[in-house]
Chains A and B, each alone.
Chain A
Amino acid sequence: MEQRATRADILAAIKEIPLLSPSASRLLQIASREDYNIDEIIEVVKCDSALTARLLKTVNSVAYGLVHQVTSIERAISYLGERLVAGIALGDSAKTIFYKKLVGYESPVGELWEHDLRTAIAAREIARHCHADLSKDLAFTAGILHAIGKAVLSDFLHGSATDLLTNIDSHDVRDYLEGERNILGMDHAEAGFELAKVWKLPESLQMAIRYHHAPQQAPEQYRPLVYAVHLGCILAMMSGSQSSDALQYHLDKNYTVYFNITNEHIAMILLEVNESVETIQAALSEGKELAE
């Protein structure tokens, strides 16, 4: 395949991506710790008036169907859950990433955010079945972030999808990651990792982004989290994805070392993913319209 851009071009593009807002950055730092307190989350949100308004509008949206209006930010955070609060802050802060039309993956606007949300919900549910002590909040946040590298590589991959899929179908290329590396010298997992370093994300989140398609390569202490995101991403693709790379990755069956998941569990998780994503998307969209 023709070499389109170099690693240096991609690394230079990553440096041009806007940094996360201080609120989003701080919320991610807090939520990635196991011993955080909800008061810390409340403090950060209270100092960000736009985020406060957005959360109140979201929790009071028709999609959540609450009988009484929520007017305190403490109750809003408690109802939405800390993980969704961090996710909303992240989505708003990095709109250029999450809501970008991924031309290189032939994906419409909003597809990356929806895939990330589906992955986050699935990873959170998978975390419940972990043999080890794995934070559901952390799994959710890692799911939201895991595919940011696709937004980085998308423009560089423009027009490549058909050839790349032909090479996978003919078994000349193992999966979409290898196809990306053949074209650009870097895959989306590595590109996401580079962006995560620039954004100074906690190491656990960096590892989930870097190894979500190769969880066995992650450092041992992060593997339960990385496998949760790996499985979450696969289930998100099974539940539906409008992207050229959908279902073009391999399952690492060593997830059984960390999780006890049956086909029945998978069906339940898929049900939960579809239900939750509908509610959250409707609430976010309504909350956004009202906040604007």
Chain B
Amino acid sequence: MGNIILGVGDLGATNNSADCVKTFALGSCVAVILMCPKTRTVGMVHIALPESRINPEKVKTRPGYFADTGIPALLKKMTTFGCDPHGKGFIVKLAGGARIMDPNNTFNIGKRNALAVKKTLWKFSLGAVAEDLGETYSRTVTVCVASGETLITSPGRKDWKI
């Protein structure tokens, strides 16, 4: 079994049934998981910030960094596996977007990331069937092609699936 490890701003996809796609330690970042049932392809992007306008240069080297460019880039990547360019029929799952312990949500990057991700998905008429967003814990996300299961782990907590 191969693990495709995604760092911050990375995106990846595979249709190899022996593969799993994994990203470590999401804090305020959001992992967008796209699954194409028709071709049995799994894709993931590790989004760090909501909007690319903050650093357009970065988009050229790592479009996955931002919600508004990361999702289109992942859809494009998945077309190489024969998937629909607009994500028609895709299953979408979201995880991450954590916050710090502050009732006023002062640094609300996690929430803004989650909103920007949903806004971009809506442009493609896509919506998440499952999500684990917000709260105050770190998440490591693994999706395996064979099972299609999305496993979330966090140090000191029991594993869970969405």
By a beta-carbon cutoff of 8 Å, the part of chain A in contact with chain B is 105-107, 161-162, 164-165, 175, 234-235, 237-244, 246-251, 253, 263-264, 266-268, 270-271, 274, 278
Residue numbers in A under 8 Å from B49 (CB-CB): 267, 270-271
State the total of A-B contacts with C-beta under 8 angstroms: 108
Given A237-B27, A247-B99, A274 contacting B9 (CB threshold 8 A): yes
A241 to B9, CA, bound (A): 16
- Which of A165, A235, A253, A267 is close to B157, meaning CB atoms less than 8 Å apart? A165
Q: Give the contacting residue for B155; candidates A161, A249, A271; CB below 8 A.
A: A161
- Is B155's CB under 8 angstroms from A242's CB? yes
Interface size in chain B (residues, C-beta < 8 A): 36
Question: Which A residues touch B101, using CB under 8 A?
Answer: 175, 247-251
B100 within 8 A of partner (CB): yes
Specify which chain A residues have a CB less than 8 angstroms from the CB of B25 in the assembled complex.
240-242, 246
Name which of B9, B54, B107 has the most chain A CB atoms within 10 A of its CB: B107
Known: A175-B101, A251-B100. A240 touches B8 (CB 8 A): yes
Q: Is B41 an interface residue (CB 8 A)?
A: no
B155 touches A251 (CB 8 A): no
State whether B8 touches A239 (Cβ < 8 A): yes
Residues of the A chain whose Cβ atoms lie less than 8 Å from the Cβ of B140: 242
Taking a contact as CB atoms closer than 8 A, the residue among A235, A253, A274 that contacts B102 in the complex is A253
Docked CA distance A33–B20 (Å) = 50
CA gap between A271 and B9 in the complex, in Å: 10
Q: Which of A106, A240, A246, A266 contacts B109 (CB 8 A)?
A: A266
Cross-chain contact of B104 among A107, A249, A253 (Cβ < 8 A): A253
Chain A: minimal CB distance from B54 (Å): 5
Which residues of chain B come closer than 8 Å to A250, judged between CB atoms?
A: 100-102
> CB distance A164 to B27 under 8 Å?
no
User: Are the C-beta atoms of A267 and B24 separated by less than 8 Å?
Assistant: no
The DSSP consensus for interface residues of chain A is helix
Give the interface SS of chain B, mostly helix, strand, loop or mixed.
loop
Q: Report whether B8 and A244 are in contact in the complex, using a CB–CB cutoff of 8 Å.
A: no
A-B CB contact pairs (8 Å), 16 listed: A165-B137, A237-B27, A238-B110, A239-B8, A240-B25, A241-B138, A246-B138, A247-B27, A247-B98, A248-B137, A249-B101, A264-B54, A270-B48, A271-B48, A271-B54, A271-B58
Residues in chain A near residue B108, CB distance under 8 A: 263
Query: Does B55 make an interface contact (CB < 8 A)?
Result: yes
Q: Looking across the interface, which residue of chain B has its beta carbon closest to that of A271?
A: B55
Contact of A246 with B107 in the complex, beta carbons under 8 Å:
no
Contact A267/B109 with A241-B138, A253-B104 known, Cβ cut-off 8 Å? yes
What are the interface flags for B15-40 relative to A under an 8 Å C-beta threshold, 1 for contact and 0 otherwise? 00000000011111100000000000
Known A-B contacts A165-B157, A271-B48, A274-B9; the reply to A247 vs B58 at CB < 8 A is: no
Residues of A within 8 A of B148 (CB): none
